[in-house]
Chains A and B, each alone.
Chain A
Amino acid sequence: MSEETALPWPRVVDPSAGSPADLMARVARGDADAFAQLYDLMAPRVYGLIRRVLRNPALSEEVTQEVMVEVWRTATRYDADRGSLASWILTMAHRRAIDRVRSEQSSADREQAVAAASSITEYDEVAEAVTTNLEVEQVRHCLSSLTELQRESVTLAYYGGYSYREVAELLDAKLATIKARMRDGLIRLRDCLGVTGR
């Protein structure tokens, strides 16, 4: 059906450094200096997200290392037509983090349960700590525009690392409902984040 390439956010480019895509092209050709720049650009996001999901700093560091090395190893396979570089890398990071959650369920169980109970509060705390960051404010604002069920479904899965079945259990809702709320919550988030408000 539709083939739109959407979410029309302008890429942010440091004119002195070349675009992330240019950087990535150099990385794909084996340029270690370019990779070091890419690391500076992406590692905080990778580490932040992984730590958000896994919580354990040492483990998060280890998984961040795996992901960044994987970015290097598979750089030639990145296709800018299929999404932004940040999206490609964070998708990889999130997936790795989730794999760890699922494979190390036993050690993580307790922490995760605690995290789940307070996911929204914690989100606010995290956001509070960096209120100078416009993007964080925007994300927080947009999250608050979701219904509670949408927001919980999205954040428990994304930040909490839960499967939709686990989310349904935690929120005491039907599986189909949770699947639908994850989707319409993300759609609303997408639309909200796509608004400049100017």
Chain B
Amino acid sequence: MTTPEVHALTGPYVLNALPEDERTGFEAHLADCQSCSAEVAELREATTKLGTAVAADPPPALKARVLAEIASTRQLPPLVKPEAPAPVPIRRKFNRRSFFSLAAAGLAVAGAGGIAIDQYRENSRTRQENEQLAALLAESDAQTVRGNLKSGGQATVVMSPAKDRAIVLLHNLPKLPADKTYQVWLMDKSRDMHSVGLATTDQSKLIQGGIVGKIALGVTVENKPGATEPTLTTATVIPMA
């Protein structure tokens, strides 16, 4: 369904380099192409960094003008959604036997929020990451779990269910072939795996929301650009309990 030709438009699209007619056509295609919209979201985060890299202070007087204008501007009403479906419903029923230990460790906590990962960096990123980690560790309900990955290296999860927030730290990951990527998943209590992102090397990753009700972290090795279902032979599952 997705021809390479159409797929290649993700690049020009996020750069706003498509003429109006092609943009409209591509947006129609996007509505039906989940992999395209996932790619658009990712590439958009990359262009966001390009944008952030040229930040410049606006004239101070602008703020007063904007604030004056919003004071007389009515906001749009929110879109009222009928029963929102889960944000990333990647269904994969796991074999009960293979996750026996998980069942034992399963947390029965209701309600999973959206998984929102914010993907831009600021100045002093490392310092801020450390501060985030410190803040999370300071939560009274903070828990840490870690495990060795089947593919090598370690994953550590620091989480606070009360804050519905977690930081995943990946260490000493072996370098993968160029066409492979690590993929990080959260497993809910019905053993559905929800992709929360890709990694090609050591990094830390903050997950806000969607932690409550998740019983395990999974790390797999997948072909780029990532998979909709985890490849079980490469999976390491670390119970978050």
Contacts and interface: CB of A to CB of B under 8 A. Distances in A.
A75 B205 contact: no
B43 A187 contact: yes
Contacts of A32: 67, 70-71
Interface stretch (B52-60, B93-101, B141-149, B233-241): B52-60
B228 A52 contact: no
A7 B197 contact: yes
B10 A183 contact: yes
A183 B8 contact: yes
Interface in B50-88: 50-59, 62-63, 65-67, 69-71, 73-79, 87-88
Given A10-B204, A11-B206, A180-B11, A4 B66 contact: no
Interface residues of A, number: 100
Contacts of A174: none
Interface in A100-131: 126-127
Nearest to B129: A10
B120 A12 contact: yes
Contacts of A74: 75-76
Contacts of B88: 3, 5, 81
Contacts, number: 332
Nearest to A161: B16
Contacts of B14: 91, 186
A65 B69 contact: yes
Interface string A132-156: 1111101110000000000000110
Interface of B: 2, 5, 7-12, 14-19, 34-35, 38, 41-59, 62-63, 65-67, 69-71, 73-79, 87-88, 90, 114-126, 128-129, 131-132, 135, 167-168, 183-184, 195-206, 208-209, 225-228
22 contacts: A1-B2, A2-B226, A10-B125, A12-B132, A13-B132, A15-B131, A40-B63, A47-B57, A48-B51, A49-B55, A61-B62, A74-B75, A75-B75, A84-B117, A84-B118, A84-B120, A86-B48, A132-B123, A134-B123, A135-B125, A136-B53, A179-B11
Given A36-B63, A43-B62, A189-B46, 10 more contacts: A2-B38, A51-B56, A61-B58, A126-B53, A139-B49, A157-B12, A158-B47, A179-B12, A186-B46, A198-B203
Interface of A: 1-13, 15, 19-21, 28, 30, 32, 35-36, 39-40, 43-49, 51-52, 57, 61, 64-65, 68-69, 72-77, 80-87, 90-91, 93-95, 98, 126-127, 132-136, 138-140, 154-155, 157-159, 161-165, 167, 176, 178-187, 189-191, 193-198
